[in-house]
Amino acid sequence: MVAELTIFPLGKVRGLSADIARVVALVEKSGLPYQLTSMGTILEGEWEEVIRLLGECRRALLKDNERIYMVLKIDDDRGKTGKLKGKVRSVEEKLGHTVRK
């Protein structure tokens, strides 16, 4: 399963990077493959692993913030792995070149 998570505290105008860094540290600790983007974090893992991690991220932000905003997109293609990079590779093959990163 591939999931894209966007999560941040509400009420702050600037200075979200410390909160986001705490979430990314939890993602790193989970051991799940991930890709950090400027608009969210893409994860790959089994349903239970991803949902458990989302709960940890939520609880971590709620410790210091009264309200958080979370958007979650999921591609649940059971039994498939390697999609985090495989989807990008497939598009690159069709383009005939690597995409900018």
Give the tens place of pLDDT for each residue, 44-101: 999 999 999 999 999 999 998 999 999 999 999 887 777 777 788 888 889 999 888 7
For residue 52, being part of any structural domain is answered with: yes
| Residue 44 contacts residue 1 (beta carbons within 8 Å) | yes
Residues 36-55: tens digit of each pLDDT: 999 999 999 999 999 999 99
> Average pLDDT, whole number, for the chain?
91
For residue 34, being part of any structural domain is answered with: yes
For residue 101, being part of any structural domain is answered with: no
What is the Cα Rg of the chain in Å? Answer: 15
Report the domain count for the chain: 1
| Residue 3 contacts residue 43 (beta carbons within 8 Å) | yes
Q: DSSP strand E in 31-92: where?
A: 34-37, 40-44, 68-75
Structural domain harbouring 42: 2-95
CATH number of the CATH domain containing 14: 3.30.70.930
Q: Name 68's bridge partners.
A: 9
